[in-house]
Amino acid sequence: MPDVTLTVDGKKLTAPAGTLLIEACKSAGIEIPSFCYYPNLSLQGACRMCLVKIEKMPKLQTACTTVVTEGMIVTSDNEEVRQARKSMVELLLGNHPLDCPVCDAGGECELQDMTFSYGAAESKYMEAKNHKDEQQWSPVVFFDRPRCILCYRCVRVCGEGMDVWALGVQNRGVSSIIAPNKEDHLECEECGMCIDICPVGALTSGAYRYKTRPWEMKHVGTICTHCGDGCKTTLGVRRSDSGMEIVRGDNRDKSGINNDFLCIKGRYAFDFAHHPDRLMQPLIRKNGKLTPANWEEAFELIGKRFAEIRDHDGMIGVVGSSRITNEEAYLLSKFARVVLKTNNVDHHRTADFPALAAALSGKPDSTATMREVYDAPAILLIGNNPTDQHPLLAWQIRNNVRLHRSRLYLINSQTIKLGRQAAGFTQIPAGTEGKVAAYLAGDDAAVEAIITEKNSRETWNALREKLRGEQKLVIIFGSEIRGNDVAVLVKFGSGVHGAKFVCLADYANSRGAADMGLYPDLLPGYHRVADTGKFHDEWTSIPATTGLTLPEMVDAAKASKLKALYVVGANPIGRLGLDPFLFSKTFVVVQEMFLTETAFMADVVLPAANAYEKSGTFTNTCGDLQILKKAGEVTGTKSDFEMIVRIADAMGFDVHKLVPFGAGERTDMGQSRGAQSGEADRHAVWLEARGLEPKMSPLEPTAILDEIQRLVPGYDFSRINLLAGNDQHTTLANSGPGAIQKPELIVPANDNLFSSGTLGRYSKALHSVMESRTQQTSEVAAD
């Protein structure tokens, strides 16, 4: 659209035609206050704060509903305008309780800011304020009704943004009030977006309410550790007896790929970190019982046994995690091959990335970022239910359709909620996703399996033609498509102009774990173990034979061949439903936060730090790399990275060869160790005792980042951008050849909105929501 020129406060501005005046001013650095205006939500014109003087208009006009026109002359700040805004604040404060000292929003309240800006400090009224009682809408959402200023942001973000429509307005006039969908409580996705978007303290979070004040916390913008979408969540951290306590998770920092969005897990489910069952010291099995021990004892024992078993050619298995950082996954992969001298490495796979890497090899620009899902003109989604399993992806798709009129094509065996946004929804018989891929790729015979009463051959033909005609189509597929089907789908995609792919995996760093080579047959970057190449040069010795997959390790354990099992942040017994007594003849070491089913059977359990307590990087399911920032340390735990290095050291391995610390191009100057933030530099003691370079610690994940950047294809990202908290896309185009994996190795996590694998079991917030749900359902059933 052509640009128009307008004058605001004597400043000449140009803005594209159709821009709202408030946005044009904002981009020119002129602030126009508002409560009800919120970018990308429908216009209200209700709060009257954005009134400005426009020449030739008799009355003040709302900047949030006025579209810029050529030659418009606007005054955004004069006596009349200031008075109008002041009077709005005055009127609002008339019925607004002045309980700022106890209000959760105190200190980050937009009404407070406006009062400071426009100075309506004195009340002109003497009558009592209208009072309404506070309500609890759900375990995590409270509504303090008198504080509400009726900006309708919550109503809109819930309806338009989340497509939940759980909030509405009741009554009229001064008795108008926001009300939940079920009389006195909410039945919704509990995303808490209404709380975040509330400009005042009317909607408050059940998890954070009355605990502290905004300025008392350290705000750490890090990556959520639950699903694979990689939302940025800002953790509010306070010091406490155990080192630190996370008191709040929210979306205060809207700079992440999730922008405004955060789901229930990112917002409330940080509380597993403070669960009373958290392990705080190493446990060693003595006389058949796990007994508390100290770290030295534990490392010594592990080092001794691992070295013994390795040197006697005993079989050692390594199980990695989809929730450890890229650095840890890389280190584990290297540790297994270089120190334990085995290729028996695996992890809980939830998507077939090796197949995707193989199919996309040599095809640049063929993976979509999470941001692109929001901009793409057309999206094809096969399988999965993003609303439950990938809330951010669902948000991106939904709002892309709403704001950019993108076309969404859904192919699913279930009717999923995103169907409401779909331009076309095609239901298929369960388990025929592979046939869909084949049919789309041109195999006309495959259509037989997917023809249903509703969808004839002609419907499928029409759909395929439509899809082939799309440009910049983003093809998103869940774990239903795996193995050969991935290649087939990619073949279809190569016929669509500018098509890009997203493969959906279920855990926070599933993609990273795959990229970093937690496979028995693949090294980082999907290089095959047998191939000679840069890894052999750098890592020197890599066993040439393909290792054992997790099920094969289990078989080996059954046959008493597996002598040791090293489990890093995984719970195979619990998640994959294995027989707990399988490993009774195996020396099992588990690095875990809790005494999970697997840890319960272990010989040594090492208390691990979680993703909120360490630094590093995560790669989300789209391949967007982001930095994890450490919120703080919990006494008695160590990061998986540190533990791996210490075990290598205890095995007598030269740490220099595992972590190239001090040899890298950059040093970290101790920031990440906390040496400058006043935290005790607890690594220093150990480093000095061993005469190691104190400039860069081998226990610091950054130490291995250089090597990752150098060796793993697609990870040649900009370090400065990473540190700045920006997301960067890692591509699969230059990956190694990958390998076809057995489809049955992929076991989807099957989490929903309110569950999150093992972590979810230890989150009180998720539990309380689920409990209130079952209670409601049973009440309905009883009725």
Partner 1 sequence: MPVLKNIKAIAKGMSITFMEMFQPTQVENYPDGPGPLRGARFEERYRGMHVLQRDENGLEKCVACFLCAAACPSNCIYIEAAENTETNRVSGAERYAKVYNIDYNRCIFCGYCVEACPTDAITHGHGFELASFNASNLIYRKEQMLAAAPAHMGANAVFNSADVAGGAPALPVQGS
Partner 2 sequence: MASLVSHPDEVKVVSRRFGQGATNIDRYLELDGYKAVQKAFAMEPDAIINEVKNSGLRGRGGAGFSTGMKWSFVPKQSAKPKYVLCNGDESEPGTCKDRLIFEHDPHAVIEGVMIAALAVGSQTGYIYIRGEYRYLSIIMQKALADAYARGFLGKNIFGSGRDLDIYWHGGAGAYEVGEESALMESLEGKRGIPRIRPPFPAVVGLWGGPTVINNAETLASVPHIILGGAEWYAKVGTPKNGGTRLFCLSGNLEKPGVYELPMGYNLRKMIYEVGGGIPNGRELKAVVPGGSSTPVLLPEEIDISMDFDSVAKAGSMLGSGGVVVLDDTNCIVKFALRTMKFYRHESCGWCIPCREGTDWLEKTLTRFHAGGGLKKDIDNIQYLSENMLGRTFCPLGDAAAMPTIAFVKKFRKEFEDHLEGRPCPFERAGAVEQLPVLA
The correct pick among 43, 46, 100, 403 for binding partner 1 (CB under 8 A) is 100
Site for partner 1 in 613-632 (CB under 8 A): none
Q: With binding defined as CB under 8 A, does residue 678 bind partner 1?
A: no
Sites for partner 1 among residues 102-141 (CB under 8 A) = 102, 106
171 to 190: interface string for partner 2, x by CB under 8 A: xxxxxx--------------
- The site partner of 209 among partner 1, partner 2, none (C-beta below 5 to 8 Å per kind) is partner 1
State the minimum distance, in angstroms, from the CB of residue 91 to partner 2.
4
Q: Give 469: exposed, middle or buried? Use CB within 10 Å, 0-12, 13-18, 19+.
A: exposed
Contact range with partner 2 by CB under 8 A, out of 83-91, 111-119, 192-200, 669-677: 83-91
Residues from 4 through 43 that contact partner 2 (CB under 8 A): 43
598 contact choice in partner 2, partner 1, none (CB below 5 to 8 Å, kind-dependent): none
| Contact residue for partner 1 among 70, 216, 300, 579 (CB under 8 A) | 216
Counting residues that bind partner 1 (by CB under 8 A) gives 12
| Least distance to partner 1, CB of residue 248, Å | 13
Strand-pairing partners, residue 205, are 141
Among 80-88, 503-511, 580-588, 630-638, which window interacts with partner 2 (CB under 8 A)? Answer: 80-88
Q: Are strands 289-292 and 218-223 parallel, antiparallel or unpaired?
A: unpaired
Query: How far is it, in rounded angstroms, from Cα 268 to Cα 189?
Result: 13
Helical H runs in 349-483?
Answer: 353-360, 370-375, 386-389, 391-404, 433-440, 447-450, 457-469
Cα–Cα distances (Å) from 502 to 92, 360, 476, 478, 499, in that order, read 47, 11, 5, 9, 10
Eight-class DSSP state of 553: H
Residue 128 or 215: which CB sits closer to partner 1? 215
Stretch that binds partner 1, among 207-215, 358-366, 543-551, 687-695 (CB under 8 A): 207-215
352: tokens are 């077939």
Burial readout 492-531 (b: 16 or more C-beta within 10 A, e: otherwise): bbeebeebbbbbbbbbbbbbbbbbbbbbbbbbbbbbbbee
Q: Which does residue 780 bind out of partner 1, partner 2, none, counting CB within 5 to 8 angstroms by kind? A: none
CB 289 within 8 A of CB 249: no
What minimum distance in Å lies between the beta carbon of 71 and partner 2?
18
* Residue among 31, 99, 300, 579 that touches partner 1 (CB under 8 A): 99
When asked if residue 212 is in the footprint of partner 2 (CB under 8 A), the reply is: no
Is residue 26 near partner 1 by the rule CB under 8 A? no
Minimum distance, C-beta of residue 126 to partner 2, in the bound complex (Å): 5
Instruction: Please choose, out of 206-214, 306-314, 315-323, 645-653, the segment that lies near partner 1 by the rule CB under 8 A.
Output: 206-214
Minimum CB–partner distance for residue 211 and partner 1 (Å): 6
210 binds partner 1 (CB under 8 A): yes
Tell me the three-class secondary structure of 109-157, residue by residue: CHHHHHHHHHCCCCCCCCCCCCCCCCEEEECCEEECHHHCCCCCHHHHH
Q: How far apart are CA 362 and CA 526, in angstroms?
A: 13
* 94 or 214: CB nearest partner 2: 94
For residue 50, the minimal CB distance to partner 2 (Å) is 11
Among partner 2, partner 1, none, residue 584 binds (CB under 5-8 Å by kind): none
Closest CA to 394 of 563, 650, 163: 163
Within 13 Å and on the Cβ side, how many CA atoms surround 43? 14
Considering only 53, 209, 371, 417, the residue that binds partner 1 (CB under 8 A) is 209
Strands of the sheet with 283-286, listed across from one edge:
289-292, 283-286, 604-607, 587-592, 562-568, 315-319, 345-346
Q: Which of 26, 77, 82, 91 binds partner 2 (CB under 8 A)?
A: 91
Torsion sign over Cα 324, 328, 329, 335:
negative
Q: Restricting to residues 43-62, name those near partner 2 by CB under 8 A.
A: 43-48, 51, 58-60
For residue 55, give the nearest of 12, 20, 8 by alpha carbon. 8
Distance of CA 591 to the CA centre of its chain: 22
Give the footprint of partner 2 on this chain (CB under 8 A).
43-48, 51, 58-60, 65, 83-84, 87-88, 90-92, 94-95, 124-127, 130, 149-150, 169, 171-176
Give the footprint of partner 1 on this chain (CB under 8 A).
99-102, 106, 209-213, 215-216
